[in-house]
């Protein structure tokens, strides 16, 4: 088992520097254009695929890093470049994690490669969980999956929302209700293969931030998928549902649902994204404070500015430490006895909002214009306290974990 360390090894440093170079040379110069266009930056994704960043092999290497630091290190560097473009590059990863968390080895080997395609034919994937009336309240999910035993097919009906790459994805991973009486424990995840009839894109959202990332509704109208597209297989699902029914009848311990398993695995990674955005804004503010002169001296010589920068750097480092700890714990199999995954996502996302706001303030009027990137970074940072579990939900998870109450 890898020991927890705050020092990247030589291989990790090499990967970090490579990613930083790509973020600086390819992502940042394109950030403003694709933010304005509010379109998926296919040319940048293709460049990432050509150099090996947008690929199954790269994410597998980071995911299976024995220290647990590969994924958060990669997320921080890419999102340091730009959050919208970076999310377009890594958004497929959430669907991949959904398959890794719930699928069989055969399903992992079959579907994850199709999520990425290759450098000559880039593909993306979408994880579809949230619904118009079921965001944080996953127990209110209405999308249904009904098994047609005669044809060994599942029939899906419902509407998903806030789906990254929704409607444009080659592969969709859809969470649906298979047993409504069990609430969130009666959910299962399904692969919807490419070009499956009945799946269509609904509304595409025009967003406050992360505009280069495609976010849309996904409409499922009598979508039929083969039985082997149920992640984990029907035998495993039947066993899990039976255990859930027994526990419900006896008032025993609750079991995790499919969507929660995916989010728990991805929360530290989201925290790392927030750290990257916060660090980027802090660096712009620090450079500006050193070079901007007022009353005959750099503004950083003013205690009010200097203390803000000191707090910003302290909070960023603290957020990174929480993210790294949670990532290491997850990789080495240590249980989140105090909801350490939610802690990392909560603190890092709140830090990103605070630090980017302070960066705008330090730049003054310039920070409020699109001539400087902190305006965009501040808009982008707003998403971190919302998606994959709001800050309020993270606090609820932490509080219930500490008290011993069930997490529904």
Per-residue pLDDT tens for 18-69? 999 999 999 999 999 999 999 999 999 999 999 999 998 898 899 889 999 9
Q: How far apart are CA 210 and CA 218, in angstroms?
A: 19
Band the pLDDT of 372: cuts 50, 70, 90: very high
User: Is a pLDDT exceeding 90 seen at residue 254?
Assistant: no
Tokens 């619904």 belong to residue: 131
Q: How confident is the prediction for the chain on average, in pLDDT?
A: 93
User: Is a pLDDT exceeding 70 seen at residue 136?
Assistant: no
The pLDDT of residue 258? 53
The pLDDT of residue 261? 52
* Burial class of residue 318, CB neighbours in 10 A (0-12, 13-18, 19+): middle
The pLDDT of residue 97? 86
Q: How far apart are CA 182 and CA 184, in angstroms?
A: 6
Region 139-143: mean pLDDT is 85
Catalytic residue (one of 77, 264, 375, 388): 388
Q: For the segment 55-73, what is each residue's pLDDT rounded down to a tens digit? A: 988 988 998 899 999 999 9
The pLDDT of residue 275? 98
Ranges 99-108, 150-159, 385-394, most confident: 150-159
* Radius of gyration from C-alpha coordinates of the chain: 22
The pLDDT of residue 245? 87
**Phi and psi angles of residue 339, each rounded to the nearest 5 degrees, phi first:** 60, 45
Percentage of the chain exceeding pLDDT 70: 94
Percentage of the chain exceeding pLDDT 90: 81
Band the pLDDT of 255: cuts 50, 70, 90: very low
Tokens 């149920």 belong to residue: 230
Region 329-333: mean pLDDT is 91
Q: For the segment 75-88, what is each residue's pLDDT rounded down to a tens digit? A: 999 999 999 999 99
User: Is a pLDDT exceeding 50 seen at residue 308?
Assistant: yes
Band the pLDDT of 247: cuts 50, 70, 90: confident
Q: How far apart are CA 240 and CA 232, in angstroms?
A: 10
Q: For the segment 258-284, what is each residue's pLDDT rounded down to a tens digit? A: 555 555 667 899 999 999 999 999 999
Question: Any catalytic annotation for residue 388?
Answer: yes
The pLDDT of residue 183? 85
Band the pLDDT of 405: cuts 50, 70, 90: confident
220, 180, 177: which is closest to 197 by C-alpha? 220
User: Is a pLDDT exceeding 90 seen at residue 244?
Assistant: no
The pLDDT of residue 256? 52
């Amino acid at each position: 088992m890898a020991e927890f360390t705050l020092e990247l090894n030589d291989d990790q440093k090499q990967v970090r520097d490579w990613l930083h170079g790509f973020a600086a040379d390819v992502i940042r110069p394109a950030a403003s254009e694709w933010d304005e266009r509010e379109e998926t930056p296919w040319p940048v994704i293709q460049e990432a695929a050509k150099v090996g960043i947008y690929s199954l092999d790269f994410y597998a290497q980071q995911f299976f890093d024995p220290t647990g630091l590969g994924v958060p290190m990669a997320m921080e560097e890419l999102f340091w470049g730009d959050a919208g473009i970076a999310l377009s590059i890594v958004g497929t990863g959430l669907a991949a994690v959904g398959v890794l968390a719930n699928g069989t080895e055969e399903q992992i080997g079959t579907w994850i490669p199709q999520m990425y395609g290759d450098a000559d034919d880039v593909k993306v994937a979408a994880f579809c969980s949230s619904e118009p009336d079921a965001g944080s309240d996953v127990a209110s999910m209405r999308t249904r999956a009904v098994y047609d035993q005669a044809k060994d097919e599942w029939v899906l009906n419902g509407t998903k929302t806030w789906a990254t790459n929704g409607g444009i994805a080659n592969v969709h991973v859809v969470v649906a209700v298979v047993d409504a009486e069990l609430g969130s424990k009666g959910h299962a995840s399904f692969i919807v293969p490419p070009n499956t009839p009945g799946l269509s894109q609904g509304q595409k959202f025009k967003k406050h931030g992360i505009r280069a990332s495609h976010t849309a509704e996904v409409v499922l109208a009598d979508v039929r998928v083969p039985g082997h597209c149920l992640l984990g297989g029907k035998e495993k699902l039947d066993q899990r549902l039976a255990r859930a029914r027994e526990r419900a009848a006896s008032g025993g311990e609750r079991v995790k649902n499919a969507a929660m398993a995916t989010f728990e695995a991805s929360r530290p990674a989201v925290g790392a994204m927030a750290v990257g955005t916060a660090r980027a804004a802090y660096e712009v503010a620090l450079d500006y404070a050193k070079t901007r002169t007022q009353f005959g001296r750099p503004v950083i010589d003013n205690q009010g500015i200097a203390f803000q920068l000191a707090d910003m750097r302290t909070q960023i480092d603290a957020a990174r430490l929480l993210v790294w700890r949670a990532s290491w714990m997850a990789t080495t199999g240590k249980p989140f006895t105090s909801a350490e995954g939610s802690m990392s996502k909560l603190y890092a996302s709140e830090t990103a909002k605070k630090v980017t706001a302070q960066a705008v303030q330090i730049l003054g009027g310039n920070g409020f214009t699109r001539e400087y990137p902190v305006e965009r970074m501040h808009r982008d940072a707003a998403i971190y306290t919302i998606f994959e579990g709001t800050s309020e939900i993270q606090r609820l998870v932490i509080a219930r974990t500490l008290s011993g109450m069930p997490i529904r």
